[in-house]
Amino acid sequence: MKFDFLQQFPARMKTVGIYSLLVKNSAQKTTWKQFDIQTFDEQLNVIYAVLLYIMEQSLRDEPCTIEDVTSFLDELNLKYLKKEITYLQCRELSDFIINVVLCDEGRVMYFQGFNFEAGNYEQLHVSYVANKIVYLTDDVRRTSYYLTEDGYNLLLSTLEMESNMKLTIHEMIFKLHLEKATYDKAANDIRTIFNMLRMQYQKIQDAMNRIQHNALQYAVADYEALQKENLTAVEDTRKRFAEYRKKVTELVENLTEKDIHVKKLDGEDLENLQHLKIIEDYLNRALEEHQKILTLHFDMKELYTKELESLSQMAMIKRFDLKSELDDPLLRDVRILERIDFFLRPLLNQNPDKVYNLNLALQKQAPLYRKKQEETELISLDVAEWQQQQQEEKLHRLRQYQNSLELLLTAAVAEGGCISFSELVQRLDAQLATLIPSVEIFQEIVIELLRSQNIHLKALYQERQAVLKEQLLEFQLHDMLLDLFDLHPDWNEFDSIVVKKLEGAKDVLLSHVMSDTGQWKQMRCSDFVIKLLRQGELV
């Protein structure tokens, strides 16, 4: 029996994996109940609403920070969801959806898809959102989120049409809506078309990054398929879209000339005018995106050719490993030194040509010893030893986090469950190096505590029992708190932890504090209070 119908099975499984991992990341979390979201249907509706908001911000070329998503969820809740949550809880919900559900707490997500042609499973990488640094002002920068190719595919697949027909079908629908004067639907159609062109542009960029990293890992079949997709996206598109723009411009002018004062237009005409302006704007942007795709199409072709030529030239050069070919044989038998001239003679059989380069003579000169240090060759590298060293460094840094947090909680317990940072500094003068092993470590602990504000230990224990997490050598506040409470059974009388910034209090100034770079610095920190509450005890 032939199994032709199982060809390109991993591509189908990639689509399944995009849904599967999203469902898995959401359904296994009990944190939703803190935001009065009880059912799985509510979870998916909120997640998709956030994804659509991120996509809309991307289409407008506007930043999409955590604060933007928080404002969107707060407005959405007040108008539609009607959940009993505050603005601060909307902030926590935004952080939970993006960093936990969509990004799986920074872990790389894979879905196993079986390749029936190769006879084994393939790891299919899935990623919904990515982030970049944007500057809101000259000195204020924030993390902005945008959809990846998988994120776009997740949203576009809800339109229930084949991917290779989406652009053509949406353009046909847009043309029909434009002819029937249903401009509101036409505006949605052209927005989707622009979104697909933007996704194609991003797909080419991702392919070029893969080619630059290693051209041999980018299959020729994938290259040909992407080139065909590019040609399909730009074929006659500019001419057709220019005609659409001309028609829309005429419609806008007709409505404007109907009454010079736009405020005097009736409701239907005014609404049509607004939709037509949206269509005109997206048509202009679609034409610009078309030109970008066309330019990037040829850039990718040139890059792929150049990388393959470079690899072919490198394959002609015979190389050898200095350690295995020279050092190891010498260590086994030192008598080989008698014949070392066989190794050195090819290097000394002719004098190199001397060329005087005026450009190099005019450049800034550097000391020879520094240049030699930079060009020092590492003859041997033990990968296992290096990995062990990296792991030991991470463990040491993690112990510093734990010792600092443990000292902070111990002092609070000793004071009856409540202590401020200024009081803690006065009492722990001799142990200040343990509390603040470095400015960066203590700053991260304080930021995580203030961001969490109210930590319910019982809920954290339930989540840890319900969800199997990978052990990472990184600072995770909630996991470290549970470990510390396990080490101190006498702390079990406390049910929750509350951390608040003391408004109006003076900042705590500390001098002679070590940084991660080994430099002594001054640290200014806002005063805050940490409270350990027993069950039923109010803040």
Would the pLDDT of 255 be above 50? yes
Encode pLDDT of 517-531 as tens digits. Answer: 878 888 888 888 888
* pTM for this model (two decimals): 0.42
Give me the phi and psi of 530, to 5 degrees please.
-120, 130
- Bridge partners, 110 (sequence order): 125
Chain centre distance of CA 130: 3
Would the pLDDT of 417 be above 60? yes
Place of tokens 């006065």: 426
- Of residues 46 and 324, which shows the higher confidence score? 46
For the domain made up of 162-316, the CATH class stated in words is mainly alpha
Question: 3-class SS at 524?
Answer: strand
Encode pLDDT of 480-518 as tens digits. Answer: 888 888 888 888 888 888 888 888 888 888 877 888 887
Closest CA to 472 of 202, 108, 93: 108
Would the pLDDT of 120 be above 80? yes
- Of residues 472 and 191, which shows the higher confidence score? 191
Encode pLDDT of 15-40 as tens digits. Answer: 899 999 999 999 988 999 999 999 99
Other Cβ atoms within 10 Å of 284 Cβ, number: 14
Would the pLDDT of 262 be above 50? no
Closest CA to 510 of 425, 409, 400: 425
Q: What is the mean pLDDT of the chain?
A: 81
Other Cβ atoms within 10 Å of 394 Cβ, number: 14
Separation CA 206–CA 222 (nearest Å): 12
Q: What is the pLDDT of residue 182?
A: 84
3-state helix/strand/coil string of 452-498: HCEEEHHHHHHHHHHCCCCCCCCCCHHHHHHHHHHHCHHHCCEEEEE
Encode pLDDT of 440-470 as tens digits. Answer: 888 888 888 888 778 888 877 777 776 555 5
- Bridge partners, 131 (sequence order): 145
What does the DSSP 8-state code read for residue 387? H
- Percent helix, strand and coil across the chain, each rounded to 5? 65, 10, 25
85-99, 142-156, 317-331, 425-439 — most confident range: 85-99
Task: For residue 112, give the H/E element and its range.
Answer: strand 109-115
Domain limits of the chain? Answer: 1-160, 162-316, 389-534
Q: What is the pLDDT of residue 378?
A: 47
